[in-house]
Every structure is written in structure tokens, then in C-alpha cells.
Amino acid sequence: MPSDTSANLYDLTRPALGALLAGWGFGPYHRDQLWTALYRRHAASFDELDGLKPELLRALREHTRLGQLATHHESFSGDGFTHKLLLRLDDGQTIETVLMRFKGRATVCISTQAGCAMGCVFCATGQMGLSRHLTPGEIVGQVLHVNRILRASGEALRNVVLMGMGEPLHNYEHTMSAVDVLVDAMGLAMGPRFITLSTVGVVPGIRRLADEERPIHLAVSLHGATDAERAALVPAGRRWPLDELMDACRYYSEKRKRRIFFEWTLISGRNDTAEHAHTLGQLLQGMDAHVNVIPLNPTVGYDGGPSRPESVRAFQDVLAAYEVPSTVRQRRGIDIDAGCGQLKAKVERRTRSLVPSSA
């Protein structure tokens, strides 16, 4: 039997789970029986894995674990539609997960890293730096956690957006293993078209994603349409200039036959003028692209403010002249620090303030 006595079952894709069980003498039937118990019945402990052969259950107890994410802190928006969770990992790290309810559907925004190395200046997660990558089970675990909340009220999850803490393409292997678990037809069976991955523009990852058979949606955080303006907001822009990024985006769009969503956080006076919109329109003209414009969600570590409604409308009008469609993405949970990294930063500030000074 394997020597690793702490393997998290949620870290394993179905083929990997089959290989583990095969080493113990159990075949595909037992693999699928366990898989459906984990992802269809949402078994949360070994005691809930009823129906398995006693020998298999004994091996699982001895050599594996079911890594559960614990709620460290949670908050609810005043309108009741947004539920933000700060989840605690086994090593004490915390990550954010946001459940957003819309009419007739529910969406979860999940994290792929504890912190982030990309350093976007207006993002609370970027301001805190990277602690570590999440494992596949820690990524999938967020979806399972939210599913249990929704099932208790008779609701179902439809959309998953990898737009929480971290850069998904910086944690490529673990993120894609998690996606494979989410879309597995015998488990959660989420439709790939209901999964969106957001990247700050990691060019090698975009090209690799284009070459692989994972038909999820791609969203690219742009925020600036010249190298200088983008690098001032998104330091990764210095590593992957716009010409390289746009070449990779065109490659992805043509290879996958898919529209790319470009995210543009509108910051008053910084990137929301007509001139900025013209530059963006020229950059994207002719591409199968859609721009999500998002008025800034202010953070403690950045002095910028959100664009005024009239500036947002004028920005969209310019894009329309270039036949570039755009949507103003609804800001949710502003009253509960629902922006990426904000709740964690707030809780950590509060915790530090309660620690007596050693002076």
C-alpha cells in the first residue's frame, strides 16, 4: 500500500483515484462508487462513505483523508445576494470564496492561490503578496463547501469563476486538475461553458490553455491599452508586453474558436477617459472580444476611486464605435468587502489590532 498516509482524496482526478485504488487491488467499479459518494452525495467524512467494501473503507481511513475547508469568517451583503467566506486551510492559511446569487442562478468565485504574486496595485490580494499555491483539493473544496450551503436551501450552483485570490495560470497544473474534477461527468458534472478562468495575462499559460482540450471561458485582465499605462497598474505587463499578450489572445481565440472576455477596472482619471477608450477600441477592433467594464472597488492600499456613471457610459459609447461590445459588470457585496482579498485583509488587520504590543 502507498506510504503517503495523508493523501487528500479531493486532490485526485478520477483516473488518479483509480490508480490509487488499483494499487490496493480495487477496480474501476469501486473507484466510481467512491467518486460518486464524494461528488454526487457530497460525503464529508469516512462515516458517510456507506456502501463501500469494508476492506476499501479500512484502506481509505488508514492511508487517506478528506480535506475539509473550515469557515474562519463569513459576511452577508445587506441585499442578501452575496455571501463572502474566509475559509481556513489545514496549515492555517486563509482564502476567500464568494457565493453570489442572481435571479435563477448561483455563481461562486473561487481562489487558486493563498495571496498572489502578480502585484496589481489596486487589488487587495496583489497588495499582500503570494503565500503559496492551492492544491487541487483546496480549489475543488471551495465548490463543495458552497454546494453544501446551496443544497441546504434547495438551490444549485451553475457558474464557477476562477477570479478569486491568486493567478490561476501561475498555478497551472493544480488549477487544471481541479477543473478536470469539476467537469467530470460522473461527479459534479459542471458544464465547461459555465466555468470562467481569469488571468492577468500569463502568456505561456494562455498558449498552453489554447492547445489543451478544456473548453472553458477565458477572461484577461487588461486595465491599460498601452504598455506604460498597463504596467503602472499590472506589474506583470512588464514581463509580458501587450504585443505578446495580444498575440497569445488571438492564438487562443483562433485555435479554440472562442470569444475572449477582457476585464477593465475603471479608475477615475486613470484609465476611464475617451482617449483611453479609443486606444482600447483600436487594440481590440476585429477580435472576437467582449469587454467587462468594472468600476473600481476601492481598497485600503490604493488611493484610486471608481469612475462616475457618466464616465462609464461614455467609455462604452467609444468602444461601441469600434464594434467592441461591452458590459458593465455589477459590483456585488461592496458593503461586505467582497472584492478580491478585501475580507482577508480586513480580518488580518483586526486580528493584529487585538494583539498586545510587546513594547
* CATH number for position 20: 1.10.150.530
Residue 305 belongs to a domain: yes
Query: How confident is the model at residue 357, as a pLDDT?
Result: 46
153's CB contacts (< 8 A; 6+ apart) are none
Query: How confident is the model at residue 358, as a pLDDT?
Result: 43
Per the structure, how many domains does the chain have?
Answer: 2
Residue 348 belongs to a domain: no
Residues 104 and 202 in one domain: yes
Residues 58 and 156 in one domain: no
Residues 55 and 82 in one domain: no
Residues 89 and 238 in one domain: yes
Residue 40 belongs to a domain: yes
Residue 114 belongs to a domain: yes
Query: How confident is the model at residue 35, as a pLDDT?
Result: 98
Percent of the chain with pLDDT over 70: 90
Task: Give the model's confidence band at 334: pLDDT under 50 very low, under 70 low, under 90 confident, else very high.
Answer: low
Given the residues 96, 109, 138, 249, select the one marked as catalytic. Answer: 96
Mean pLDDT for 308-318 is 97
pLDDT per position as a tens digit, 226-246: 999 999 999 999 999 999 999
Residues 155 and 36 in one domain: no
Query: How confident is the model at residue 230, as a pLDDT?
Result: 96
pLDDT per position as a tens digit, 77-106: 888 889 999 999 999 999 999 999 988 899
Mean pLDDT for 185-207 is 97
Residue 42 identity (one-letter amino acid): H
Please tell me whether 297 is known to bind a ligand.
Answer: yes
Please tell me whether 147 is known to bind a ligand.
Answer: no
Residues 53 and 86 in one domain: no
Residues 50 and 76 in one domain: no
From the number of C-beta atoms within 10 Å of its C-beta (0-12, 13-18, 19+), residue 350 rates as: exposed
Does 15 have pLDDT greater than 90? yes
Residue 199 belongs to a domain: yes
Residue 341 belongs to a domain: no
Mark whether 96 is an active-site residue: yes
What would the grid cell of residue 126 be? 496583489
Residue 344 belongs to a domain: no
Residues 122 and 233 in one domain: yes
Residues 213 and 328 in one domain: yes
Please tell me whether 109 is known to bind a ligand.
Answer: no
Please tell me whether 120 is known to bind a ligand.
Answer: yes
Residue 287: give its domain's CATH number.
3.20.20.70
Mark whether 340 is an active-site residue: yes
Rounded alpha-carbon distances, angstroms, from residue 34 to 12, 43, 158, 225: 12, 10, 24, 49
Secondary structure class of 110 (helix, strand, coil): coil
Residues 112 and 238 in one domain: yes
Residues 256 and 331 in one domain: yes
Final residue before a domain boundary, out of 42, 65, 88: 65
Please tell me whether 3 is known to bind a ligand.
Answer: no
Please tell me whether 249 is known to bind a ligand.
Answer: no
Please tell me whether 159 is known to bind a ligand.
Answer: no
Query: How confident is the model at residue 331, as a pLDDT?
Result: 62
Residues 107 and 163 in one domain: yes
Final residue before a domain boundary, out of 36, 65, 94: 65
**Stretch among 227-241, 268-282, 292-306 having the lowest mean pLDDT:** 292-306
Please tell me whether 353 is known to bind a ligand.
Answer: no
Given the residues 109, 138, 249, 340, select the one marked as catalytic. Answer: 340
Q: What is the span of the domain harbouring residue 39? A: 10-65
Query: How confident is the model at residue 211, as a pLDDT?
Result: 96
Please tell me whether 166 is known to bind a ligand.
Answer: yes
pLDDT per position as a tens digit, 43-77: 999 999 989 999 999 999 999 999 999 999 999 98
pTM comes to: 0.90
Query: How confident is the model at residue 353, as a pLDDT?
Result: 45
Residue 355 belongs to a domain: no
